[in-house]
Amino acid sequence: MPDSSDMAQRSDAVLVSLAAISLLVTPAALTRAGLYTHADQVTLLDPDNFGGILYNSSNAWLVEFYASWCGHCIDFAPLWKSLASDIKEWKPALSLAAVNCANSKNAKMCRNFEVSTYPTIKFFKAFSKPFFKGVPYDDAGTNVSALRHDIIDYLEQHGENVWPPACPPLEPTSMAEVQNFFAANSVQYLALIFEDENSYLGREVTLDMLQYENIAVRRVLSSEENLMMMLGVQDVPSCYLYFANNTHRKVTVKMATRTFYTYYLRRLPGVTRGAYKLMVPDSTDGATMPPWRDFDGSKVYMADLESALYYSLKVEVGTHQELSGETLTALSHFITVLAKFFPGRPFVMKLLRNTEAWLADVGTAQISYNAYMDVLGNKKGVTGLSLSDGVNWVGCRGSRPQFRGYPCSLWTLFHVLTVQAAKYNESLALRGKSAQTDPLEVLHTLRRYVKHFFGCRECASHFEAMAAESMEQVDSLDKAILWLWSRHNRVNNRLAGALSEDPKFPKLQWPPPDMCAECHSEVNGEHVWITDAVLKFLKFHYSPENIDYNYLEGEQELLKKQKAKEEIPPDQGKDGPKEEEKEDEGGEEDEEEERNEEPPTRNDEQREIIKTITGIRRDGRQKRTFIKGKRTPRTEEDDIVDLDSFVNEQYKSQALKAKAENERASLVKEGNHGPQLHLQSIDDSDSLDYTALQERLQKRGIGSRYQAEPRKQNWLGLLGMSFSRTDISLCVLLYFLSSLCLLSMYLYFKMRFRWRKWKNGFASA
């Protein structure tokens, strides 16, 4: 058996070996990692793809050759990333790429391109031939604006024969070309940028609008006096819209800069991204789009927020059949933050707090998704708890089913929570309370939710990378708001032009100039954010005062649906309904008589109408009804309560009576005395109210399909439609007894009267 000294020597040897391996592996791993990713809008080149990308390409390329260990390259990388983000819309004409020469796989490639110092930038014209080594970019600019101008200069060096096909003309236009423009081009707008000769504004806006259809942009020099006089141009730079009917309009913006002009032109009616985006089918599942609903883009819609709650809490969490450990902790924290900061309607907040309390009682024990859904679905029937059971996009609705929707609403929900946390803390301070909200409480919660539940795993990994990079540096609630805002804009930048982008709602840096002009500025030709103005805007935009409650399903409708779900037994639909209630005395005899009695005769047209209304097939041994909003356990077909009972004079009166009594007792027990029932109570009136019936049909969405017509009824049916056979028998018996009583009294008084008359006559005699 080895002694302790041998074991110590062996452990030292293992440590030395591990250290040596780490020294060998770590640099290689670092060099392979590189300084860029595809999320940076930079194409990564290696020996396997550079030939197919750089050569015979329809667009030009600007390539950076760097070494990941090079200090200057590390300093230059943020500038290269910013440039790639700034000119991402130029990709059909020019794209950026990078090669990590520190990666041994790329070493030979870098030698072939004669790269000896880092970073080296080379320009490749469109349709460059194989073995072309590129034009060296000797004097790299020190800011994005300078690099952008250099790129335009390189593009203009293309001859007519090798001009990138997607790149619009960058040279100045003339009056003759403008006057004949619409004869040769089928676009709705011609934007004319008037500027000085040394200005790059017109060419930048032209390239920014490259991927947008139904508009063209041309540069006009201030020396084109005839055109300036025709349009009445007085200021330079300025922008004018010219139309096919020879009319024009000046573009009015806060600042005559690239950012403001580009945004204005992209938001013109009929202007969409499209020519260079591979479009996907309208819907992969054949779903049809409901009618479009107009919305105010300056508002936050509660319908979107509640849809985000529904999808996140019921659908996304549903991917986990069992919840335990970190997953359960992430869910508990998410529910807690929602219960604390979500500005929801009272019955939604009550449900969130109820779920939070249940999760707190559960603790760290493993739970099933079904148990969680029983609580979230309020299976215990607690009064006044409900959550929308479906999505209802308004401000987040896309032009097609696959666009926007849940991701948009989830970002909106996240922003609302960060703003509400800051406002909550401010309210505590105003009340003189010392308790302070953790600046990272909401952000940590959102990070856990995205990590464990968000369905798009690539998106979740990107969010996790952003969080790991800088989230821990947030030290105030205001900075938490700005952190989430800046990361959302980073995501918008990464996804701009992707297949997931809605062409009618392109990914823009937010807030746009028309919503917050004070948030934007420009320094040395480069756009900058005014963070104080952005923070002020975010706190207003995502505040409860700016939430719109249009297009929401009403509280009563949601609670009615919830009530209907509470009445469904858990085993319904599996083994059929079970008997749970004792029958009244004499009920079996009455039910047997009713089963033997033939129901009113219906013709084919009536059957079709009833089938359309109720969705029930009355053939075979069918014993269930699937009326929307009302499903109850029953044992026999006689217990069915639906609209069919109204159409056919409620001939199953005992079932209706039992139904009404049960629901009335349930409402009294819950303390809810409002008008909760869809069905008319048997005690409401002596006869059918067809106007009220039609109103109820319309509420159920079927009023247009069926118009209830009053049917002729005999007097016996009208008198007896609200009573069972036993009731009628008792009534007849009571009537008979009362008649006998009256007859007896009549005979008694008649005999008494005769007796008195006889007695008086006898006395007088």
Residue corresponding to tokens 């309390």: 357
Domain covering 30-162, topology: Glutaredoxin (3.40.30)
Comparing 476 with 720, the larger pLDDT belongs to 476
Pairing of strands 300-301, 547-548: parallel
Q: Single out the residue of 668, 665, 664, 694 nearest to residue 681, CA to CA.
A: 664
Pairing of strands 120-124, 60-66: antiparallel
Q: Is the pLDDT of residue 2 over 50?
A: no
Structure token pair of residue 627: 């009326």
Dihedrals φ, ψ of 618, to 5°? -95, 35
Which amino acid belongs to residue 117? Answer: T
In terms of average pLDDT, the best of 241-245, 641-645, 727-731 is: 241-245
Structure token pair of residue 704: 């247009």
Q: Is 144 helix (H, G, I), strand (E, B) or coil?
A: helix
The side-by-side arrangement of strands in the sheet containing 60-66 is 43-44, 94-100, 60-66, 120-124, 135-137
Which of 6-20, 265-279, 660-674 has the least mean pLDDT? 6-20
Q: Is the pLDDT of residue 343 over 60?
A: yes
Contact 723, 650 (CB under 8 A): no
Q: Is 157 helix (H, G, I), strand (E, B) or coil?
A: coil
Looking at residue 580, the DSSP 8-state letter turns out to be -
Looking at residue 520, the DSSP 8-state letter turns out to be E
Domain ranges of the chain: 30-162, 175-273, 300-548, 567-581+605-718, 724-756
- For residue 241, the cross-strand partners are 191, 249
Measured CA to CA, the distance from residue 694 to residue 18 in angstroms comes to 81
Contact 126, 57 (CB under 8 A): yes
Q: Which of 73, 408, 516, 519 is catalytic?
A: 73
Q: Is the pLDDT of residue 231 over 90?
A: yes
Is this structure's pTM higher than 0.75?
no
Total residues belonging to the chain: 765
Q: Is the pLDDT of residue 414 over 50?
A: yes
pLDDT per position as a tens digit, 312-325 = 999 999 888 899 99
Top CATH class of 300-548 equals mainly alpha
Q: Which residues contact 398 (CB under 8 A, 6 or more apart)?
A: 404, 405, 408, 502, 504, 505
- Is 459 annotated as catalytic? no
pLDDT band at 435 (very low <50, low <70, confident <90, very high): low
Same fold, 30-162 and 300-548: no
Which of 145-154, 597-606, 752-761 has the least mean pLDDT? 597-606
Q: Is the pLDDT of residue 191 over 90?
A: yes
Which of 195-204, 351-360, 570-579, 619-628 has the least mean pLDDT? 619-628
Q: Is the pLDDT of residue 700 over 80?
A: no
Predicted pLDDT of residue 206 = 96
Dihedrals φ, ψ of 649, to 5°? 60, 25
> What DSSP string runs through 192-216?
EEEE-TT--HHHHHHHHTTTEESEE
Q: Is the pLDDT of residue 454 over 90?
A: yes
Q: Is the pLDDT of residue 133 over 70?
A: yes
Comparing 755 with 122, the larger pLDDT belongs to 122
Indicate left, alpha or beta for 97 from its phi (over 0: left) and psi (-120 to 50: alpha). beta
Statement: 175-273 belongs to CATH 1.10.1660.10: no
* Mean pLDDT of all residues belonging to the chain: 77
pLDDT per position as a tens digit, 643-654 = 343 334 443 444
Instruction: Give the dihedral sign, CA 691/697/699/702.
Output: negative
Q: Is the pLDDT of residue 464 over 80?
A: yes
Residue corresponding to tokens 């070493």: 107
pLDDT per position as a tens digit, 400-411 = 888 999 999 999
pLDDT band at 291 (very low <50, low <70, confident <90, very high): confident
Looking at residue 554, the DSSP 8-state letter turns out to be P
Comparing 27 with 336, the larger pLDDT belongs to 336
- CA distances 540 to 64, 478, 636, 670, 673, Å, are 43, 13, 58, 39, 39
Predicted pLDDT of residue 762 = 56
Predicted pLDDT of residue 344 = 93
pLDDT band at 576 (very low <50, low <70, confident <90, very high): very low
Q: Is the pLDDT of residue 350 over 50?
A: yes
**Mean pLDDT across the stretch 95-123?**
93
Measured CA to CA, the distance from residue 214 to residue 192 in angstroms comes to 14
Predicted pLDDT of residue 578 = 41
Comparing 333 with 720, the larger pLDDT belongs to 333
- Is 731 annotated as catalytic? no
Q: Is the pLDDT of residue 140 over 70?
A: no
Predicted pLDDT of residue 40 = 85
Q: Is the pLDDT of residue 358 over 90?
A: yes
Measured CA to CA, the distance from residue 532 to residue 529 in angstroms comes to 9
Structure token pair of residue 385: 């708890």
Residue corresponding to tokens 């390189």: 154
Structure token pair of residue 251: 């573009």
pLDDT per position as a tens digit, 245-281 = 999 999 999 899 999 999 999 989 999 887 444 444 4
Predicted pLDDT of residue 27 = 38
Contact 67, 115 (CB under 8 A): no
pLDDT per position as a tens digit, 505-534 = 888 899 999 899 999 998 887 889 999 999
Predicted pLDDT of residue 563 = 63
Comparing 443 with 496, the larger pLDDT belongs to 443
- CA distances 199 to 91, 205, 226, 258, 416, Å, are 22, 12, 20, 11, 42
Predicted pLDDT of residue 431 = 78
Comparing 225 with 654, the larger pLDDT belongs to 225
